[in-house]
Structure 1
């Protein structure tokens, strides 16, 4: 590569980073604000918050909010300056630990919600029994929150490595954790079990749920109303589709690379497909607003009350001015 080619490459990278920074920042701010509004809504509406089909969604939103507030700003900082700062192995180790943990926690929560939705739609009475509620609802959620932390603590934090493999010119230090580079078995397990399996469960559970709901509507033999079934089904389908759209490109390319073509779309994977994963945390709050009618009504009420308050304040101010005159 001559000097001209090198300069063009650097300029292209710089432009790509600036575009990514702008897009992520523009999408992050409203997503952050919407997440806060949703939290306030759940705090003020205890009945809605404690509904079984909303409890897991609230946990998912909390994990998503952590990504918006703590890990996404690190990505924004990289795209703003063009390099990892501070450029030390310890920073990369902990950054990838938190990033990978939140990724997989979010995926497993979505897969668990997809499976649990079958119980809520067709066998909701089971969760009224305490031990069954703990077994089928609480314990899977505890697993989703604890397993990723334990796995990546051993795979990233405790894995013997000197840190010299990190690439400080690429986002997330080049995804160059030692277990991914030097332990093919563990790396393949991570990609297949921690990333691929939840997406497969997610897709299969959604397809089966749609089929069962259609059959249920035809038979009309269950006590659960069709309206409630449709609402919970649409809610799950929209959120699951967001995950599938964000993760499918990188997962498909990753499978092809694992099967024996390590350079297949490598540049596209690094520069574009891996960034699509951010779609989840950036658009999830918007989906919540569209799928919780009570939340949308509450937000409209807040806006209406604020407008009335501003209107009253304006009238009072004008009256005072008129009296002074």
Structure 2
């Protein structure tokens, strides 16, 4: 993890510098990259140090109820924002590739492109009851994962179909598609095992599933966060 962090954080800073220097030339399709890298960078510098301290000493420092409450709020809010921003970005890429006239004016860009990302960044709630936990799992894991998968598969099919029929500038559309596909693949690799294991545990209460979750699968989304700035 330390090695990945030592690479990912400088990559994030380089991306910020690039966007700052090219701020007047930034295209709509690059906004998703910037938002995701900002989210990853914030979590790496705010959340990761506390997680590394816990893994080393096997206790929370500082061990106060207010800190634990804030830490849980941060983790759940970040995860919700991160996965929903990516889910919306998967839908938004269809608009940018096939319906770019919707982004022809500043007002339309705000309504169809910027505003949905702002809603995705709203913090989620803390859950302590089984029904709320189930709702949170379905709403903030299953649904966005399904959106990411279906939207990206549909995007590939639509672009390849246009290539087959030689309609439009499919090379430009394929270029706009490839980056999002790489993010979607990373999401599937790191999130699907965790989600499937959660479903198994919910129905079986298997100690093996619990052990897999706490020892291995829980850390897969963190690997995604560290890899995303590198592949960007």
TM-score class, shorter: over 0.9
Distance across 2 between alignment mates of 1:26 and 1:82: 21
Larger radius of gyration: 1
Which structure 1 residue ranges, 5 or more long, are not aligned?
1-23, 156-178, 289-325
Of residues 37, 60, 64 in structure 2, which corresponds to 1:84?
Answer: 60
Distance across 2 between alignment mates of 1:129 and 1:88: 50
Query: Relative contact order (alpha carbons < 8 A, sep ≥ 6): 1 or 2 greater?
Result: 2
Of residues 76, 81, 84 in structure 2, which corresponds to 1:105?
Answer: 81
Of residues 35, 41, 45 in structure 1, which corresponds to 2:12?
Answer: 35
Kept after mapping to 2: 8 A contact 1:25/1:76 = no
Of residues 159, 164, 167 in structure 2, which corresponds to 1:221?
Answer: 167
Q: Which residue of 1 aligns with 2:220?
A: 276
Give me the TM-score of the superposition, normalised by structure 2.
0.95
Distance across 1 between alignment mates of 2:214 and 2:55: 14
Distance across 1 between alignment mates of 2:11 and 2:109: 31
Kept after mapping to 1: 8 A contact 2:88/2:116 = yes
Kept after mapping to 1: 8 A contact 2:7/2:230 = no
- Structure 1 position 121, deviation (Å): 0.9
Kept after mapping to 1: 8 A contact 2:85/2:117 = yes
Q: Which residue of 2 aligns with 1:300?
A: none
Alpha-carbon RMSD: 1.4
Which structure 2 residue ranges, 5 or more long, are not aligned?
none
Q: Deviations over 1:246-274 (max 9, x none)?
A: 1111100112222x212251111111001
Of residues 262, 268, 273 in structure 1, which corresponds to 2:205?
Answer: 262
1:221 aligns to what SS in structure 2? coil
Q: Deviations over 1:250-302 (max 9, x none)?
A: 100112222x21225111111100111111111011110xxxxxxxxxxxxxx
Distance across 2 between alignment mates of 1:196 and 1:246: 14
> Number of residues paired by the alignment?
231
Distance across 2 between alignment mates of 1:84 and 1:185: 28
2:204 aligns to what SS in structure 1? coil
Aligned runs of 1:134-149 on 2, under 5 Å? 134-146=110-122, 149=123
Aligned runs of 1:164-183 on 2, under 5 Å? 179-180=127-128, 183=129
Of residues 236, 242, 251 in structure 1, which corresponds to 2:186?
Answer: 242
Q: Which residue of 2 aligns with 1:307?
A: none
1:265 aligns to what SS in structure 2? helix
